[in-house]
Amino acid sequence: MTLKEISSFPFVDYYSTGSLARQWIKHHFKRNAGPLQVRAYAAAVDFVLELVIKNLGVAVVPKYVAEPFLEKGRLYPIQTGRPEMKDSIWLNVVRIASSSRHPFIHPIQLSSTANRLLKILSLVRPSRAQ
């Protein structure tokens, strides 16, 4: 896939102050992305994933988060033929007592707030640069 093709997609990103989409593009194409159509910002990966699954746009998500959806055909990877981007950011979290083997892994459920945001955003059409 080319930079021009990728830049034409609507994006879902994490924060307006630091674009992971731009970092991904710079990593893969060694140049700036130019203007991007960011349709929404969602600070948490599960919310970003919800919006992508609902076809709001494309996003950069960790492979381990995307894999179950890739296997089911609900997500499709964008491949550039270049090495994947790697990140080594680690967060320290206080472990919450739980009877579950994986206390921080929960099924993704679309919250009422996410539903309201999707309704609002579905009314907004991304503008295409001429």
Query: Do 78 and 27 form a contact (C-beta atoms < 8 A)?
Result: no
Check residue 113 and give its pLDDT: 63
Task: Give tens-digit pLDDT for 30-41.
Answer: 988 888 899 999
Which DSSP category does 125 fall into?
Answer: P
Check residue 93 and give its pLDDT: 45
pTM score over 0.85: no
Mean per-residue pLDDT, 114-125: 61
Which DSSP category does 16 fall into?
Answer: T
Check residue 69 and give its pLDDT: 92
Query: Chain-wide mean pLDDT for the chain?
Result: 76
Check residue 58 and give its pLDDT: 92
Mean per-residue pLDDT, 122-127: 56
The backbone torsions φ and ψ at residue 7, rounded to the nearest 5 degrees and listed phi first, read -65, -20
Query: Do 8 and 35 form a contact (C-beta atoms < 8 A)?
Result: no
**Domain coordinates of the chain in residue numbers?**
3-122
- Top CATH class of 3-122 equals alpha beta
pLDDT of 21 higher than 70: yes
Mean per-residue pLDDT, 115-122: 64
Lowest mean pLDDT of 10-19, 23-32, 51-60, 108-117, name the range.
108-117
Task: Give tens-digit pLDDT for 44-99.
Answer: 899 999 999 999 999 999 888 889 999 999 998 888 888 887 764 444 444 444 44
